[in-house]
Chain A
Amino acid sequence: MFLSLIKKQVKLFLRSPSELLLLLAMPVGLILILSFALGSIWDGNSEFKKIEVAVVQHNDEVGQMEEFLNTLSKRIPVNDLMVQNIEEMLPVSTLLNQVLGNPEAQEFITVTQLEVNELELARNNGKYNAIIEIPEGFTVDYLSSLFLEDEEDIPSFQVYLNESEQTTSVILQNILDYYQYQYSLFSQLGKNQLFTEEISVPTLDLTSEIRTVASKEHITSSTYYTFSMSVMFILFLASTIASQAYLEKDSHIFDRILLAQVHPLVYLASIVVSTIILTMLQIGILFLFSYYVFKIPFTNLLLYLLITFMVSLVIGGISALLSSLNYRSNSATASNLFSNAFVAILALLGGSFFNISGLSPVLAEIGLWTPNGAALEGYLRLIQDGTISSIQQILLNLGILAFVFILLAFLLFPKRGGLA
């Protein structure tokens, strides 16, 4: 008989397209939208427009190196090792190949080489975020300042930044400052006659990797929103089941159930159990979706199952409590109020829209006493390789919430049927 009540509830739910749309299609849609819309900001790899850099060279650098080597060979003997080292410290090649052209930088910088006569047009049309103009004889002057004692001046190149795009300007400025630093360093070394023919110039090897401060696994937007939307939409399930339960009273189906010698509290228990099953099913489907679409790794499945069960128990309790209040007030006011107002408040406090724990420690603590907030925190700890001990407090919070809701529901549920 108890099984029939649960079977009935699950069947009714699965045959209700509008409920399925609200409880499954909507969170899936929101997970997709939020993950893609906020993903780049959240994940720190913003897909902003690539930085366009134009380079205008007045002379060919290889030709200049040969010109310099001719001058140098007249003063000192030049061997192969020296030529090789000089080749490696050619400033324009270094800029183009190692600074702007390294694989990391290529992901967000596009370099275009322009002819000298194209410079004016490029400066006017604003197509490029930056234009680097290498003046005539730059490489010869640079190498001379390093190796020839009578050459004092360190040459400079011109950079035009497009100031209307501030972010990209700042990024480029930083890159070029770094390059400038390296370049000045070599110059100073040369001035102090620290270069010898044996010296080898290390290549610039720029790599970067995003790491969290605590060296934990990085949480992507899709991971966060999979958890936050799932735990938010299970709240709607509680009010949906409570509304369905009220309909059973309103249409006197509940009276029929009572007349079949089913105790009212057994009926209420069936609401708790069927809500637990449906909540676990809902979370399972949403997680499965994210597992396949976003490749979210659910390692330690048992711990996920444990949190899911505990939060489902709380939702079961809420559903039963709302049913009790609906039955007492002879209307669906309690469940309507919950879905129209309380879910939004709980979603906000629980961090379903954004992580509010950073705003204040009090808010963070309150969030952990909401079913969605506690579950979200638990899932986030698990995805960062959490263990059972790291989610102990979460499980305790959920257990207390479930106990309180279920107790209140059982105390408040009317013990007889009657007219709606």
Chain B
Amino acid sequence: MAKSMLEVVNLSKVYKKNKAVDQVNFYIEPGEIVGLLGPNGAGKSTTIAMISTLISPSAGDVLLQNHNVIKDPTKLREILGVVPQEIALYGDFTARENLEFFGSVHKMPKKLLKERIEVVLKQIGLEHEHKKLVKHYSGGMKRRLNIGVALLHEPQYLIMDEPTVGIDPQSRNHILETVKQLNQEMKTAIIYTSHYMEEVEYLCNRIYIMDKGRIIASGTKEEIKSILSSEKIIVVKFNRHSNSLIKELMDQPLLSNVSVKESEVSFTVAKDTNFLPLLMNLCDQYKVVLNSFQVEEPTLEDVFLHLTGRALRN
């Protein structure tokens, strides 16, 4: 069980003139699941590579109960498991051979390794498929084994970098349930990076939102959503699409973050604003019928849009 807090202090990474990570501060308590949310290229992977001691930061520290792990990574590596975004497995080995190899480089005693392999194969749902070569696995199965390898030595901290990229919904659900179970039953502390806000929202106690190498918001889901507490999200449907009407909506000072998704148009308004008369007038003016409208709670996606002016998945 995790006993020590992992802390990141003013972490930066500069590649030539490009600041990939800029003054990131971050912490994770034992037993927590913390989300690192941000679009592709936000600096998430570089941040976790530095936290896991694989690359040196240009500035800043990573502390494990005040022990500097940049200078001496041994202590952290003993209790850390990393699930990289890439499938870090040997395609010409079976699942069992992969687990045996990575277990043996971890210097796990043979008997313990054998027991752990059975447990992990069950955890990731590959107990009946362990004799197949990994190159013949589906994308989802490979992702599950990619996680399994990181679980072999029972890490107290687990870093998962986009573990559900490019897989089918069924495998995705299996992975999310496995992560949840690990945290609840094994009390494994997990840093979960993703650009899928619904995954982060479902799994994480606390969330850090990253953009362009910086943390732009952090806190619990509720705290982050409260950034938009003075506003509400309105989603409306018209009988037909009208570019002129959309342009008019975008020009209205009362409305912000106007976006069009198929037949729906959404926008943000201040909580106390009565926007309906304005909307009805515009419908009359452009001969468009308002079919429906609903008021929605802001999501993390809305918060990201609000903070950066861009969608999470561009």
Name A residues whose Cβ lies closer than 8 Å to a Cβ of B.
Answer: 1, 4-5, 8, 11-12, 15-16, 250-253, 255-262, 416-420
Given contacts A251-B87, A260-B106, contact A417 B55 (CB under 8 A): yes
B92 touches A4 (CB 8 A): no
Which A residue's beta carbon lies closest to that of B46? Answer: A419
Known: A4-B105, A251-B89, A419-B49. 15 other contacts (CB 8 A): A1-B104, A1-B107, A8-B90, A11-B93, A250-B86, A253-B88, A256-B105, A257-B105, A259-B53, A260-B77, A260-B102, A260-B105, A416-B54, A418-B49, A419-B45
Within 8 A of A (CB), among B148-186: 149-150, 153
A261 touches B74 (CB 8 A): yes
**Complex contacts, B102 vs chain A, CB 8 Å:** 256, 260
Given contacts A255-B82, A259-B82, A261-B77, contact A418 B92 (CB under 8 A): no
A252 touches B88 (CB 8 A): yes
* Chain A nearest Cβ from B24, distance in angstroms: 16
B55 touches A256 (CB 8 A): no
B54 touches A258 (CB 8 A): yes
* Chain A nearest Cβ from B202, distance in angstroms: 26
* Chain A nearest Cβ from B282, distance in angstroms: 49
A262 touches B105 (CB 8 A): yes
**Complex contacts, A256 vs chain B, CB 8 Å:** 82, 84, 88, 102, 105, 149-150
Query: For the complex, is B78 an interface residue (Cβ under 8 Å from A)?
Result: yes
**Complex contacts, A1 vs chain B, CB 8 Å:** 104-105, 107
Query: For the complex, is B101 an interface residue (Cβ under 8 Å from A)?
Result: yes
Query: For the complex, is B52 an interface residue (Cβ under 8 Å from A)?
Result: yes
Query: For the complex, is B210 an interface residue (Cβ under 8 Å from A)?
Result: no
**Complex contacts, B74 vs chain A, CB 8 Å:** 261
- Bound form: Cα–Cα A255–B89 in Å: 11
Partner of A8, one of B52, B56, B101, B107: B101
Query: For the complex, is B189 an interface residue (Cβ under 8 Å from A)?
Result: no
- Bound form: Cα–Cα A257–B54 in Å: 11
Q: How many residues of B contact A (CB 8 A)?
A: 32
Query: For the complex, is B249 an interface residue (Cβ under 8 Å from A)?
Result: no
Q: Please, could you name 7 A-B residue pairs with CB atoms under 8 Å apart, sorted by A?
A: A252-B88, A253-B88, A261-B74, A416-B54, A416-B55, A416-B56, A419-B46
- Bound form: Cα–Cα A418–B82 in Å: 12
**Complex contacts, A255 vs chain B, CB 8 Å:** 49, 52, 54, 82, 84, 88
**Complex contacts, A258 vs chain B, CB 8 Å:** 54
Given contacts A259-B77, A259-B80, contact A5 B105 (CB under 8 A): yes
Partner of A251, one of B49, B54, B56, B88: B88
- Bound form: Cα–Cα A418–B102 in Å: 18
- Bound form: Cα–Cα A250–B89 in Å: 11
**Complex contacts, A420 vs chain B, CB 8 Å:** 86
**Complex contacts, A5 vs chain B, CB 8 Å:** 105
Given contacts A4-B105, A419-B46, contact A259 B52 (CB under 8 A): yes
Residues 42-74 of B, flagged 1 when their CB comes within 8 A of A and 0 if not, give 000110010011111000000000000000001
A-B contact count (CB 8 A): 76
5 nearest CB pairs, A to B? A418-B55, A4-B104, A252-B84, A252-B88, A417-B54
* Chain A nearest Cβ from B175, distance in angstroms: 18
Which of A1, A256, A417 has the most C-beta atoms of chain B within 10 angstroms of its own C-beta?
A: A256
**Complex contacts, B81 vs chain A, CB 8 Å:** 259
Given contacts A1-B104, A4-B101, contact A259 B54 (CB under 8 A): yes
- Bound form: Cα–Cα A5–B102 in Å: 10
* Chain B nearest Cβ from A329, distance in angstroms: 15
**Complex contacts, A419 vs chain B, CB 8 Å:** 45-46, 49, 54-55
- Bound form: Cα–Cα A196–B153 in Å: 107
Which of B80, B84, B97 has the most C-beta atoms of chain A within 10 angstroms of its own C-beta?
A: B84
A251 touches B86 (CB 8 A): yes
**Complex contacts, B54 vs chain A, CB 8 Å:** 255, 258-259, 416-419
Which A residue's beta carbon lies closest to that of B76? Answer: A259
**Complex contacts, B92 vs chain A, CB 8 Å:** 11-12, 15-16
* Chain A nearest Cβ from B142, distance in angstroms: 11
**Complex contacts, A417 vs chain B, CB 8 Å:** 54-55
- Bound form: Cα–Cα A418–B87 in Å: 15
- Bound form: Cα–Cα A418–B45 in Å: 10
* Chain B nearest Cβ from A7, distance in angstroms: 8
A261 touches B78 (CB 8 A): yes
- Bound form: Cα–Cα A12–B92 in Å: 7
**Complex contacts, B45 vs chain A, CB 8 Å:** 419
- Bound form: Cα–Cα A15–B46 in Å: 34
- Bound form: Cα–Cα A15–B93 in Å: 9
* Chain B nearest Cβ from A417, distance in angstroms: 4
- Bound form: Cα–Cα A262–B81 in Å: 14
Partner of B86, one of A8, A11, A252: A252
**Complex contacts, A4 vs chain B, CB 8 Å:** 101, 104-105
- Bound form: Cα–Cα A8–B105 in Å: 11
**Complex contacts, A261 vs chain B, CB 8 Å:** 74, 77-78, 106-107
Which B residue's beta carbon lies closest to that of A250? Answer: B86
- Bound form: Cα–Cα A130–B81 in Å: 87
**Complex contacts, B87 vs chain A, CB 8 Å:** 251
- Bound form: Cα–Cα A258–B80 in Å: 12
**Complex contacts, B49 vs chain A, CB 8 Å:** 255, 418-419
Which A residue's beta carbon lies closest to that of B159? Answer: A259
**Complex contacts, A250 vs chain B, CB 8 Å:** 86
**Complex contacts, B150 vs chain A, CB 8 Å:** 256
* Chain A nearest Cβ from B43, distance in angstroms: 11
- Bound form: Cα–Cα A78–B77 in Å: 113
- Bound form: Cα–Cα A258–B107 in Å: 12
- Bound form: Cα–Cα A419–B74 in Å: 20
**Complex contacts, B78 vs chain A, CB 8 Å:** 261
Which A residue's beta carbon lies closest to that of B155? Answer: A259
- Bound form: Cα–Cα A255–B150 in Å: 12
Which B residue's beta carbon lies closest to that of A417? Answer: B54
* Chain B nearest Cβ from A185, distance in angstroms: 77
**Complex contacts, A262 vs chain B, CB 8 Å:** 105
Which of B54, B87, B93 has the most C-beta atoms of chain A within 10 angstroms of its own C-beta?
A: B54
Which B residue's beta carbon lies closest to that of A418? Answer: B55
- Bound form: Cα–Cα A416–B71 in Å: 12
- Bound form: Cα–Cα A253–B150 in Å: 11
Which B residue's beta carbon lies closest to that of A13? Answer: B92
- Bound form: Cα–Cα A8–B56 in Å: 29
**Complex contacts, B56 vs chain A, CB 8 Å:** 416
- Bound form: Cα–Cα A417–B77 in Å: 13
**Complex contacts, B52 vs chain A, CB 8 Å:** 255, 259
Partner of A253, one of B46, B89, B106, B107: B89
Within 8 A of A (CB), among B128-151: 149-150
